[in-house]
Chain A
């Protein structure tokens, strides 16, 4: 293995070239002019034929945003973002709004095909062994297709672009929008509230178990365009839904801004499983390009014995700033956070969760696996808190970090605040390197150094991978292997 030096050199030069979703779709787009002001906010609202209350809601957010400062406490370092140098709205011209599949531009369908996302219902039906998945595809600022809507409607499940929900189900949107992540929440969430473009809306009525996985695929295509999607999922009493989001973007030299907001509401005895496979373009080896991912995701276990679980596999983005959290408001409610964050090249990840125990006998569980390679920095940041009234609150946290090579960093920043003496919080953390012993042992059995690394890493993250829906676990496993290509050493 004289290859050690060689491998180190390769890591240094790795250009995360394995990113295979870096293509650009040449499709005519309608864009708002660059920059952000009240007229742009009104323009976006008008484009979507929104009612006055929503226009006012956006404007309120925009005015608030003007008074706010970008947060700087995360362990990420990036050049200042010029918010006036971005387009806040872009839509493929041929798609005036959500349409039936037959009306979708074939170029767009081909794009999603290339991404491996089935948008044709009959093709999915033809598949023998796979479970069916309903997909909402969001291309830049608009949703271009949603599959299986009719079948879901028969079960009473509403799954549609949020812009459509605003028109068709205003009472639901008005009741829940901003009820988990308030307009004033934080710099990026407030910006999103002002300019959010599209995203998915899900409502599962009382007692209904959603008959299939729901999934949204986000694609940033246009140059210099921010993506600000907004997702709202409501699981009414006694219902269940499993939802997956996937994200990709073309490879570009300049950075792309992504500031999404996801709100989940679980009422009495309801359960929401939310899984993410995030694969935004991470930038090249020198740190040029890549997506800036500033995302606010929060679930509100509003009802008794409700249950929200976040599972995320994060391999992309130049900067990740993301803390999917649970407000454990209902007595006996449960929150979970399972995360695999892989960083390579010059990626910077600052991610984790917040578990806020408000109700009695609330439980939460955090399993975080960070893998740092190349020259990346990977931070877990988490807060577990118990309110005065949260008697019997329990949390278990386990944060493991794995380092590959010697030029990366892994950091764990846990915060624990307990105002109730009966709360029991446990925290475990480890940081390890893939040992020479393990590598040599695997290689002696015939595995190449890369295969050995992938195998060891897969063992490291297995506990979390098992939480993903089956189809996506396989995808995630491949993604992790690709993200770490050339990272051994």
Chain B
């Protein structure tokens, strides 16, 4: 489903990703673990198409198509979703309005026509209920004044509504207490499907107790250093990243 080949990325003169290769199959949950400052979030942003990153080499294929030349909204319409580490506030735009605009923009881009509003509202309310999100919050401006936990739940709610093919979760566990973490993880697990894949970026093993990955990749110094099964996460929890940071640390 996602195939990253020899990806090199710089910000200005600074090289962040240096020949990263990674493959995630349909139905798979892949975890990327690694020390801070190793380029995990950069990878997420580059895949989603954020400005300010220069791809100097390599490609990223989503269902066989190189997406690196596409605008962020075009990637979204092809089914790429990023759950932000720091969700952004949009003052004055009611959450429901935003969700409707986003879903319909994607549907239009795919030539599907807009979703009927009552239908959409029903789906949003159902998703909100499942994630323990108070439906009153849907009337408030998106993320404005939301608590950390509310913001993260809202990211998962959006993911459920937009039903992406490929979802990237960037440090979704950061700032969550254990109860919120469980709710968020349940939300993700409920979306696991044969034709959908996840890339879960995390610093700690903790999240992976709740979202069980099929594969674990260790990232350091701008590339994937090692790939293994879920047991690799436990090993990292015990030994830390010192075997991987090496001379760069």
Contact = CB atoms under 8 A, between A and B. Distances in A.
Given A444-B48, A446-B76, A463-B92, 5 more contacts: A4-B51, A445-B162, A451-B105, A455-B97, A459-B93
B182 interface: no
B15 interface: no
B51 A447 contact: no
Nearest to B88: A441
B77 A460 contact: no
Contact of B105 (A4, A448, A456): A448
B205 to A, nearest CB: 27
A123 interface: no
A406 to B, nearest CB: 15
Interface of B: 48-52, 71-73, 75-77, 81-82, 84, 87-93, 97-98, 101-103, 105-106, 109, 141, 158, 162
Interface string A447-463: 11101100110111111
8 contacts: A1-B71, A4-B51, A438-B89, A442-B98, A443-B76, A444-B82, A445-B98, A455-B101
A443 B71 CA distance: 8
A472 interface: no
Q: Which 5 A-B pairs have the closest CB atoms?
A: A459-B92, A459-B93, A446-B106, A445-B102, A443-B72
A440 B105 CA distance: 15
A126 interface: no
B71 A448 contact: yes
A442 B103 CA distance: 11
B162 A446 contact: yes
Contacts of A459: 90-93, 141
Given A4-B51, A440-B51, A441-B84, A447 B73 contact: yes
Q: Which of B71, B82, B93 has the most CB of A within 10 A?
A: B93
B80 to A, nearest CB: 8
B109 to A, nearest CB: 7
B72 A456 contact: no
Contacts of A441: 84, 87-88, 90
Contacts of B93: 455-456, 458-459, 462
B102 A447 contact: yes
A3 interface: yes
Nearest to B69: A2
Contacts of A451: 73, 101, 105
B59 to A, nearest CB: 16
Given A1-B49, A444-B48, A446-B105, A456 B73 contact: no
Given A456-B93, A458-B92, A446 B77 contact: yes
Contacts of A462: 92-93
Contacts of B81: 444
A428 interface: no
Nearest to B110: A446
Contacts of B103: 446
Given A455-B101, A459-B141, A444 B76 contact: yes
A62 B105 CA distance: 57
A440 B76 CA distance: 11
Contacts of B77: 446
A461 B93 CA distance: 10
Contacts of B82: 444
B73 A461 contact: no
Interface in A402-438: 435-438
